[in-house]
A and B are shown apart, each in its own frame.
Chain A
Amino acid sequence: MTPKITAEAESSIMHHYPLDQPWYDEVYRQEGKFRKHYHRILNHLGKISRADFIKLNELARLSFLNQGITFNVYTENPQGVERIFPFDMMPRLIQEAEWEHIQSGLIQRTKAINAFLRDIYHEKSIIREGIIPAKLVFSSTFFSKEMIGLMPPAEVYTHISGTDIIRHSDGHYYVLEDNVRCPSGVSYVLANREVMKRLYAQVFMNYNVKLIHDYPERLLAMMKSVSPQGIDDPTCVVLSPGMYNSAYFEHSYLAQRMGVQLVEGRDLYVDKNFVYMKTIRGPQKVDIIYRRIDDEYLDPLAFRSNSLLGVPGLMGAYRAGHVSLVNAPGTGVADDKAVYIYMPEIIRYYLQEEPILRNVPTYHASKAEDLAYILEHLQALVVKPVDESGGYGILFGNKLDSKELEDCRAMIQENPRKYIAQPIMNLSVHPTYVEETGAFEQRHIDLRTFTLMGGDGIHVLKGGLTRVALQKGNLVVNSSQGGGSKETWVLEEKGGAE
Chain B
Amino acid sequence: MMLSRIANSLFWMGRYLERTENSARMIHTHFLSALDAPSEHKGSLIYESLLRIMGMSDYINPSGIYEDRHIQHGLCFDLQNPVSLSSSISFARENARGAKDILSTEIWESINVLFQLAKWEQSDRMDASNIPSYLEMILVNSAIINAQIENSIPHDLTWSILRLGMHSERTIQVNRLLQSKTLDILEMRKRKKGKEEEAFHLINLMRSAQALDMARMHYRRSPQFHEALDYLVLNKEFPRSIHFNMRQISSRLQKVSNKKNGQAGSPEFEAARILAFLQFLDTEDLHSQPEHVLVQLHTQVSELISTIESQYLSY
Residues of chain A touching chain B, judged by Cβ–Cβ distance below 8 Å, are 65-68, 77-79, 238, 243, 248, 251-253, 255-256, 261-264, 266-267, 277-281, 284
Judge whether A281 and B98 touch: CB under 8 Å.
Answer: no
For the complex, is B60 an interface residue (Cβ under 8 Å from A)? no
CB nearest to B258 among chain A residues: A281
For the complex, is B217 an interface residue (Cβ under 8 Å from A)? no
Judge whether A66 and B1 touch: CB under 8 Å.
Answer: no
9 inter-chain pairs at a CB distance below 8 angstroms, sorted by A residue, are A66-B109, A243-B98, A252-B101, A262-B101, A278-B3, A278-B5, A279-B2, A280-B313, A284-B1
B4-15 near A? 1/0 per residue, CB < 8 Å: 111100000000
**Given A255-B101, A256-B100, A262-B101, do A279 and B3 touch, yes or no (CB 8 Å)?**
yes
Judge whether A280 and B101 touch: CB under 8 Å.
Answer: no
Of the listed stretches B112-120, B145-153, B269-277, name the one at the interface; the rest are far from the partner chain.
B112-120
**Given A67-B109, A67-B112, A78-B79, do A267 and B3 touch, yes or no (CB 8 Å)?**
yes
Supplied contacts A65-B116, A256-B102, A277-B3, 18 more A-B pairs, CB within 8 Å: A65-B112, A67-B105, A67-B112, A68-B109, A79-B90, A238-B101, A243-B97, A251-B101, A252-B100, A256-B105, A261-B1, A278-B3, A279-B2, A279-B3, A279-B4, A280-B2, A280-B313, A281-B1
Bound-state CA distance A68–B313 (Å) is 26
Bound-state CA distance A277–B2 (Å) is 9
Q: Which B residues touch A261, using CB under 8 A? A: 1, 3, 6, 101-102
Judge whether B312 and A280 touch: CB under 8 Å.
Answer: yes
Q: Which A residues touch B258, using CB under 8 A? A: 281
Q: Which A residues touch B102, using CB under 8 A? A: 256, 261-262
Bound-state CA distance A266–B101 (Å) is 17
Judge whether A267 and B1 touch: CB under 8 Å.
Answer: no
Judge whether A68 and B2 touch: CB under 8 Å.
Answer: no
A-B CB proximity, top 4 nearest: A255-B101, A262-B101, A256-B101, A252-B101
Residues of chain B touching chain A, judged by Cβ–Cβ distance below 8 Å, are 1-7, 79-80, 90, 94, 97-98, 100-102, 105, 108-109, 112-113, 116, 119, 157, 256, 258, 312-313, 315
Bound-state CA distance A79–B87 (Å) is 9
Task: Choose one: A77, A251, A267; the contact of B5 (CB below 8 Å).
Answer: A267
Q: Which A residues touch B113, using CB under 8 A? A: 66
Q: Which B residues touch A280, using CB under 8 A? A: 2-4, 7, 157, 256, 312-313
Whole-angstrom distance between the Cβ of A123 and the nearest chain B Cβ = 41
Q: Of A67, A78, A281, which is in contact with the most chain B CB atoms at under 10 Å from its CB?
A: A281
Whole-angstrom distance between the Cβ of A240 and the nearest chain B Cβ = 9
CB nearest to B8 among chain A residues: A280
Q: Of A68, A248, A267, A278, which is in contact with the most chain B CB atoms at under 10 Å from its CB?
A: A68
Whole-angstrom distance between the Cβ of A96 and the nearest chain B Cβ = 32
Judge whether A68 and B3 touch: CB under 8 Å.
Answer: no
**Given A243-B97, A279-B2, do A79 and B79 touch, yes or no (CB 8 Å)?**
yes
CB nearest to A262 among chain B residues: B101
Whole-angstrom distance between the Cβ of A263 and the nearest chain B Cβ = 6
Q: Of A253, A278, A279, which is in contact with the most chain B CB atoms at under 10 Å from its CB?
A: A279
Q: Which B residues touch A281, using CB under 8 A? A: 1-2, 258
Bound-state CA distance A319–B103 (Å) is 34
Bound-state CA distance A284–B2 (Å) is 9
Q: Which A residues touch B1, using CB under 8 A? A: 261, 279, 281, 284
Whole-angstrom distance between the Cβ of B95 and the nearest chain A Cβ = 10
Q: Of B2, B5, B113, which is in contact with the most chain A CB atoms at under 10 Å from its CB?
A: B5
Task: Choose one: B90, B94, B108, B315; the contact of A278 (CB below 8 Å).
Answer: B315
Q: Which B residues touch A277, using CB under 8 A? A: 3
CB nearest to A65 among chain B residues: B116
Task: Choose one: B97, B98, B101, B315; the contact of A68 (CB below 8 Å).
Answer: B97
Bound-state CA distance A79–B157 (Å) is 30
Judge whether B108 and A68 touch: CB under 8 Å.
Answer: yes
Whole-angstrom distance between the Cβ of B98 and the nearest chain A Cβ = 5
CB nearest to B161 among chain A residues: A280
CB nearest to A255 among chain B residues: B101
Judge whether B90 and A263 touch: CB under 8 Å.
Answer: no
Q: Which B residues touch A78, using CB under 8 A? A: 79-80, 90
Bound-state CA distance A251–B105 (Å) is 15
Whole-angstrom distance between the Cβ of A290 and the nearest chain B Cβ = 12
Q: Which B residues touch A67, using CB under 8 A? A: 105, 109, 112
Q: Which A residues touch B157, using CB under 8 A? A: 280
Q: Which A residues touch B7, using CB under 8 A? A: 280
Bound-state CA distance A284–B113 (Å) is 35
Bound-state CA distance A256–B98 (Å) is 12
Q: Which B residues touch A251, using CB under 8 A? A: 101
Q: Which B residues touch A248, using CB under 8 A? A: 97
Bound-state CA distance A132–B225 (Å) is 88
Whole-angstrom distance between the Cβ of A180 and the nearest chain B Cβ = 25
Q: Which B residues touch A68, using CB under 8 A? A: 97, 100, 108-109, 112
Task: Choose one: A66, A238, A243, A264; the contact of B112 (CB below 8 Å).
Answer: A66
Whole-angstrom distance between the Cβ of B314 and the nearest chain A Cβ = 9
Judge whether B4 and A278 touch: CB under 8 Å.
Answer: yes
CB nearest to A261 among chain B residues: B3
Whole-angstrom distance between the Cβ of A330 and the nearest chain B Cβ = 28
Q: Of A238, A256, A280, which is in contact with the most chain B CB atoms at under 10 Å from its CB?
A: A280
Whole-angstrom distance between the Cβ of A372 and the nearest chain B Cβ = 53
Bound-state CA distance A277–B6 (Å) is 12
Bound-state CA distance A279–B6 (Å) is 9
Q: Which A residues touch B5, using CB under 8 A? A: 264, 266-267, 278
Whole-angstrom distance between the Cβ of A72 and the nearest chain B Cβ = 10
Whole-angstrom distance between the Cβ of B308 and the nearest chain A Cβ = 11
Q: Which A residues touch B90, using CB under 8 A? A: 78-79
CB nearest to A238 among chain B residues: B101
Bound-state CA distance A468–B64 (Å) is 59
Bound-state CA distance A466–B56 (Å) is 51
Bound-state CA distance A267–B112 (Å) is 25
Bound-state CA distance A253–B6 (Å) is 16
Whole-angstrom distance between the Cβ of B109 and the nearest chain A Cβ = 6
Whole-angstrom distance between the Cβ of A286 and the nearest chain B Cβ = 11
Whole-angstrom distance between the Cβ of B258 and the nearest chain A Cβ = 7
Q: Which B residues touch A252, using CB under 8 A? A: 97, 100-101
Q: Which B residues touch A79, using CB under 8 A? A: 79, 90, 119
Q: Which A residues touch B94, using CB under 8 A? A: 243
Whole-angstrom distance between the Cβ of A82 and the nearest chain B Cβ = 9
Whole-angstrom distance between the Cβ of A381 and the nearest chain B Cβ = 43
CB nearest to A62 among chain B residues: B116
CB nearest to A66 among chain B residues: B113
Q: Which A residues touch B108, using CB under 8 A? A: 68
Bound-state CA distance A284–B108 (Å) is 26
CB nearest to A260 among chain B residues: B101
Bound-state CA distance A65–B119 (Å) is 12
Q: Which A residues touch B98, using CB under 8 A? A: 243
Bound-state CA distance A266–B6 (Å) is 12
Bound-state CA distance A263–B4 (Å) is 11
Q: Which A residues touch B6, using CB under 8 A? A: 261
Whole-angstrom distance between the Cβ of B151 and the nearest chain A Cβ = 18
Whole-angstrom distance between the Cβ of A79 and the nearest chain B Cβ = 6
